[in-house]
Each structure stands twice: as C-alpha cells, then as structure tokens.
C-alpha cells in the first residue's frame, strides 16, 4: 500500500475522518453516522477507528495526520472580528474567548487532535499537520476529479479568513489564484436568509433551496441594491449593517426585519408567501454570483473544466445553472463538498505534497469510487443481527432479491435499500436509500409525511439509469452524486392548465410522467447511475425499467427527519419499523413489514431526535 495520510475535520460541524493512500481515498465517513447525532462536531473518534480498521492499519502505518484548517489563523480572525465590532460584540466576545485561550482551547486544536488520537491506543501518533480550510476544500475538489487540469472554485461561509477562493489545478499541483475574505461571504448571505426564514443555519440551507421554486424573486433587486454589491467579475461586498453575525450568535437583527417588513419566521411556524419569495430571491442572487465567479474562473485560468467544493457547492440548483450556461465543457462537484470533505481534502493536500500520483486519470473516471467509502456489512454480519433479534426475513440470491424489490416498487410499495459501503457526504446514492415509484402522484406526500416525517414542501430526487438519463432530464453531463438540478425533459412533461394556485397548493399539480420527483418548477435533483460505481443499484433500476418501462426511482436518504443516514443493520431495521416503509432489502435479505412483530419503544423516539 502507498503512503497513508489520515485527514480529520472536527469541532465546528460535520466532523469526519478520511484515509488516503497515494492518490486514492481508502475510507471516509462522518462521525454523525456512528454517534447518531446529526452534524456531530465532536472529535471523529469512531470515524477514525473505522478508517484504520477498513485499511487494516495502525498509526504506525500512517505517515501523517492532516487537520483541515489552521486554528491559530482562525483565532486571529476571531479576535479581529470582535475588535472591529466593539463595543456591541463584547457580550459575545466574553462568552466565546475562553473556548479559544485555555490551554486546551480551539487555538491549539492540532494538539487536541494529537491527544484524541493518542487516547485511541492504536500506536504512536504520527506528525499532525494543519492545512488551511479552503486549501482542504480545493484539494478535495481537484485531486480526485477526473481532470488533468481545471479551474477550482470554493465557496462557503468562512474558514480562517477566506470565504471564496479560486485555484488552478494542474497534474499534482494546486495554486491559489484569488480570494475573498470574511465578513463578505456568499455562504453567510444564504445562511442569513435560512435563519430569517426560520430554518437552522448549517443545516436548513437545503430547505431554503427547495422552498425557492414556490415563490417569486420579488426581493432580488432589494437584496442587490441593499445587502450585496456584486461586481461584474463576481466579487462582492455585503453591507454589514444588516447582519448580526459579527456581533453575536444570530445571523440577522432589527435591520433585516425592517428591510423585509416583519420579524423572522418562528421555527416550525406556518410558511407564508414572504418566505417563499425570500427563498426565491436569495437563490436568484446566489446563482448570479456563482455564474459570474464561474466566468471569472474560466477567464483567469483558461481552463475548460471546473471543480467545485465548499458548502455553497451543495447548492445543486446553482450548479445546474453553471452547467447550462456552457461556461465550461464539464463541471465536477466533490460529493462531500462541505466541511466533512475537508478531512479528505487535507489528507489529499499532504499526500500530493509527498509525491503521490493521480493514477485514476487514465481511467476517465474520478477517484471517489462513487463516494461509497464508508462501512459495509457482509451477509454473515447481517444474518447474525437478524437472527439474534428474531427478526423474520428471507434470504435470496442477488438476482431474486433485485426482482422482488423491483416488483414491490412497481406496486407503489416503499423499499428501504441497504447495500454495500455507506456513502460519504450528505447524499444517499443507492447504498443507504429509501426508494419509491416516481410515477405515483401520491408518493411525494406519502414519503414526506409517513416516512421522513418532514415538511410537505420538500422535493425528492430521482435516480435514473445513466444510459436513459437524457430521455427524462435535460442534462448536459452525468450527475452521479445528485449535485445538479436539471429540468425534466419536455417529452416527459405534461401540459398544465392555467391556475391561480400559489405556495404549497402548487404541489397538487402533476407536471410530468414522474410526478413524485418533479418539483413545482418542473426541475429535479438528478442522480445518474451507471453499472460501474454501483452495480447492484444499477441492476435494481434495470429490473424496475423492465417491469414498468420507467428507468427512474425516487431516491431519498435512509433516515427520518433530524436523524443521520443509517449506518448499520440495527439503524436500518429501527428506521424501517418506525416508519411506513413496506420492505427492507438489506444485503441478501428481504424483510416484509407485514411479517414483522409489533414494534414498541419505551419512549417516543420523535422527542429524542432534534428537528433539523
């Protein structure tokens, strides 16, 4: 095995560990999947242990540990921010400073990482190196990409100082080209509207994106005129008088309320036309900035391919706009584009510095193995769990399991699909997924309310056979990681009669032959599935197509609202029994809900899982 580097992200949100051998990821996982705490920010102890076990190594086999950002540089930014916001920021400064200046504080995170690793008793801990936050993002975007050279754009909330960076990747070299700095941040702008619309920051941004098509961008000009000054090259400045994140722990205050004529929506409160329109407006502005930045990336690097990372790269609507604009011939988005992917990027940055190669380039594919880098459970482990808990099941060979699951799906049954290695990143990609029939107009509502227990407005994504994708979606390129939104193909759309429907009433309108995955603007967040990266999932889609003529399935993550995606057979069975999932296909085993014993728990699990 080539030189091994362990990457770690921790202590802010979405802690993770990743192990890179040469230029190839060996294992990667978020801590939340093990701890069952969504967006877990604690040290990724269990994720680290998984990575070591997956590779069959100890710390003695690892040449370095890479932490995904520079804590001392970040501390200087925190001090400068509080100083610049004085005196109104003093209460927040007083509350925050102790966590930075104590002997074991955030300023010495690299030392904390070493102590946490030593406590695992897995051998002598190697040197702990730090990499800057955006360098980690950029490395995660470029080095595993399928491109020999590319422009690399990283956009998020903030790392140490950087909020937006442009890089030029060539071979095994990655050079910084340009940078925008805090407090001027597109990620913070989007999070401010997430907060103002009553959703959680660093969690609910995808809800805001899903809400946008219900509204009209009637505040977009106000945002451009008042909140953000966008230059032709995509650089921008925020008017900080309207934002409170410099002074305290909230994103917006009285200035925001005055500008948008009312207070922040109460979390879980009724959604109104104002929230729909605010979401549509900030989404439009975000797309405009991203398009301008993409054109600048093309001009500054001369490259015909683009790599994206950072939290804003999870805005798959904006990604689709960049692709549709034909600024680049191809766009590749790191599937773990947020902070979890920083662990992978930090490891990549160090291993490339130490002479690793990018041998995957000859294959024409990326190095991410379909992002299936997490734990797997073989049939013996699954059988042991099922039998120890007296769970009724049938063991089938692979072909029969696929056929029976496809038959159930064709009958509008909902199937939990637990196969192979768990996905790394926020998307379920056919390893830990809940699946349904996209042709069923009742499926979207049923899955939201009876399976996910979440808001009715949230759309579901389609998984489609890669070879049939263009018959169903206006895609200019493959989308294996569900990070691109495209329009449903005209041939699949249905003529919609004129209507006065607005807001959530738009859900009742059937717009295509696959209504369960067609959003109210006739768009869809598409995953293209080929037979190379996930053959079992491809076989299921193929079997469903043979029965129905439709090569598309509804694919949503295997979890309920507020819970991380399931990791283990225990997690999967628990979710199966807590919800109205009809069947569970787990390894070579098929479980029918009607054959299961009555499910009971000592307490109401809904009260134990915090809302997302």
What is the full DSSP assignment across 312-328?
Answer: GGG-HHHHHHHHHTTSS
Catalytic-residue membership of 570: no
Burial of 378 (0-12, 13-18, 19+ CB in 10 A): exposed
Helix, coil or strand: residue 296: helix
pLDDT at 498: 66
Task: Indicate the domain borders of the chain.
Answer: 4-142+341-367, 181-331, 379-608
Helix, coil or strand: residue 129: strand
pLDDT at 362: 86
For 488-537, the DSSP string reads: BPGGGB---------GGGGGG---BS-GGG--TTSEEEEEEE-TTT-HHH
Q: Which of 118-132, 137-151, 249-263 has the lowest mean pLDDT?
A: 249-263
Protein fold of 4-142+341-367: Nucleotidyltransferase; domain 5 (3.30.420)
Q: Which residue has the higher pLDDT, 497 or 570?
A: 570
pLDDT category at 242 given cuts 50, 70, 90 is very high
Task: Round to whole Å and give the CA distance between 179 and 281.
Answer: 25
pLDDT at 227: 98
Give bridge partners of residue 416 from the DSSP assignment: 434, 584
pLDDT category at 602 given cuts 50, 70, 90 is confident
Domains 4-142+341-367 and 181-331 share a fold: yes
Q: What share of the chain is helix, strand, coil (3-state, %, to 5)?
A: 40, 20, 40
Mean pLDDT over each residue of the chain, to the nearest integer: 93
* Global pTM value: 0.95
Q: Determine the average pLDDT of the residues in 122-141.
A: 97
pLDDT category at 449 given cuts 50, 70, 90 is confident
Task: Round to whole Å and give the CA distance between 43 and 61.
Answer: 21
Task: Check whether 545 has a pLDDT greater than 60.
Answer: yes
pLDDT tens digit sequence for 371-386: 999 999 999 999 999 9
pLDDT at 246: 81
pLDDT at 92: 61
pLDDT category at 499 given cuts 50, 70, 90 is low
Task: Round to whole Å and give the CA distance between 574 and 568.
Answer: 10
pLDDT at 552: 98
Total residues belonging to the chain: 612
Q: Which helix (H) or strand (E) holds 578?
A: helix 569-578
Burial of 430 (0-12, 13-18, 19+ CB in 10 A): buried
pLDDT category at 450 given cuts 50, 70, 90 is confident
pLDDT at 406: 98
Task: Check whether 504 has a pLDDT greater than 80.
Answer: no
pLDDT tens digit sequence for 260-307: 999 999 998 999 999 999 999 999 999 999 999 999 999 999 999 999
Q: Name which of 318, 331, 330 is nearest 291 in CA terms.
A: 318
Task: Check whether 135 has a pLDDT greater than 60.
Answer: yes
Q: Name which of 20, 50, 64, 51 is nearest 360 in CA terms.
A: 20
Q: Determine the average pLDDT of the residues in 14-18.
A: 97
pLDDT at 83: 60
- Class for domain 379-608, per CATH? alpha beta
The catalytically annotated residue of 13, 360, 519, 538 is 13
* Axis-axis angle for helices 569-578, 379-388 (nearest 10): 50
pLDDT at 509: 81
pLDDT tens digit sequence for 199-238: 999 989 999 999 999 999 999 999 999 999 999 999 999 9
Q: Which residues contact 423 (CB under 8 A, 6 or more apart)?
A: 335, 371, 372, 373, 374, 429, 431, 432, 565
Q: Tokens 């269990």, residue?
A: 46
pLDDT at 287: 98
- Contact indicator for 7, 68 with CB cutoff of 8 Å: yes
Q: Which residues contact 237 (CB under 8 A, 6 or more apart)?
A: 184, 228, 229
Task: Check whether 608 has a pLDDT greater than 80.
Answer: no
pLDDT tens digit sequence for 49-89: 999 999 999 999 999 999 999 998 887 887 776 666 656 65
Q: Name which of 195, 194, 191, 166 is nearest 179 in CA terms.
A: 166
For 87-111, the DSSP string reads: TTTHHHHHHHTHHHHSTTSGGGHHH
Task: Round to whole Å and give the CA distance between 193 and 149.
Answer: 35
Q: Determine the average pLDDT of the residues in 391-408.
A: 96
- Class for domain 181-331, per CATH? alpha beta
Task: Check whether 323 has a pLDDT greater than 80.
Answer: yes
C-beta atoms surrounding 456 within 10 Å: 11
Task: Round to whole Å and give the CA distance between 327 and 159.
Answer: 27
């Amino acid at each position: 095995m080539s030189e091994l580097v362990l990457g770690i992200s921790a202590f802010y949100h979405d802690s993770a560990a990743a192990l890179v051998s040469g230029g190839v990821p060996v294992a990667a996982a978020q801590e939340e999947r093990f701890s069952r705490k969504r967006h877990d920010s604690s040290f990724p102890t269990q994720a680290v242990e998984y990575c070591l076990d997956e590779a069959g190594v100890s710390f003695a086999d690892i040449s370095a540990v890479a932490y995904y950002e520079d804590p001392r540089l970040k501390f200087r930014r925190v001090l400068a921010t509080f100083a610049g916001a004085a005196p109104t920021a003093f209460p927040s400064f007083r509350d925050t400073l102790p966590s930075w200046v104590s002997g074991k504080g955030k300023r010495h995170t690299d030392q904390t990482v070493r102590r946490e690793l030593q406590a695992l008793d897995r051998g002598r801990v190697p040197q702990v190196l730090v990499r800057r936050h955006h360098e980690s993002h950029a490395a995660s975007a470029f080095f595993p990409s399928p491109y020999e050279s590319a422009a690399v754009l990283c956009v998020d909330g903030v790392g140490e100082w950087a909020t937006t960076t442009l890089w030029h990747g060539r071979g095994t070299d990655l050079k910084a080209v340009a940078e925008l700095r805090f407090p001027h941040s597109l990620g913070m702008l989007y999070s401010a509207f997430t907060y103002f619309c009553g959703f959680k920051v660093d969690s609910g941004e995808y809800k805001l994106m899903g809400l946008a098509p219900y509204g009209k961008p009637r505040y977009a000009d106000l945002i451009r005129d008042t909140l953000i000054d966008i230059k032709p090259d995509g650089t921008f400045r925020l008017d900080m008088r309207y934002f409170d994140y410099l002074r305290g722990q909230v994103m917006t205050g009285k200035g925001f309320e005055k500008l948008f004529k009312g207070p922040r929506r109460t979390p879980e409160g009724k959604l109104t036309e104002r929230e729909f329109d605010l979401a549509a407006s900030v989404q439009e502005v975000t797309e405009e900035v991203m398009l301008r930045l993409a054109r600048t990336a093309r001009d500054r690097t001369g490259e015909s391919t683009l790599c994206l990372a950072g939290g804003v790269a999870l805005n798959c609507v904006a990604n689709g706009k960049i692709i549709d604009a034909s600024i680049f011939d191809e766009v590749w988005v790191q599937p773990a584009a947020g902070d979890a992917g920083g662990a992978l990027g930090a490891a990549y940055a160090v291993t490339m510095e130490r002479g690793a190669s990018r041998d995957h380039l000859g294959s024409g594919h990326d190095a991410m193995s379909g992002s299936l880098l997490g734990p797997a459970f073989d049939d013996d482990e699954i059988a042991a769990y099922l039998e120890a808990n007296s769970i009724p099941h049938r063991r089938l060979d692979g072909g029969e399991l696929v056929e029976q699951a496809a038959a159930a799906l064709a009958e509008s049954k909902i199937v939990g699909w637990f196969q192979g290695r768990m996905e790394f990143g926020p998307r379920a990609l056919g390893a830990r997924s809940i699946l349904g029939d996209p042709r069923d107009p009742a499926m979207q509502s049923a899955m939201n309310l009876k399976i996910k227990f979440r808001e009715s407005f949230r759309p579901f994504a389609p998984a489609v056979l890669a070879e049939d994708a263009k018959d169903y979606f206006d895609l200019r390129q493959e989308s294996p990681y569900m990070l691109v939104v495209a329009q449903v193909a005209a041939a699949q759309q249905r003529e919609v009669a004129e209507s006065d429907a607005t807001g959530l009433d738009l859900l009742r309108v059937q717009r295509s032959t696959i209504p369960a995955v067609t959003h109210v603007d006739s768009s869809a967040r598409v995953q293209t599935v080929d037979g190379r990266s996930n053959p079992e999932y491809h076989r299921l889609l193929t079997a469903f197509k043979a029965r129905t003529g439709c090569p598309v399935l509804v694919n949503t993550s295997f979890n309920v609202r507020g819970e991380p995606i399931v990791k283990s057979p225990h997690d999967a069975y628990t979710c199966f029994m807590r919800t109205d999932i009809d069947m569970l296909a787990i390894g070579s085993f098929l479980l029918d809900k009607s054959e299961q014993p009555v499910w009971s728990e000592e307490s109401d699990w809904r009260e134990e899982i915090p809302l997302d």
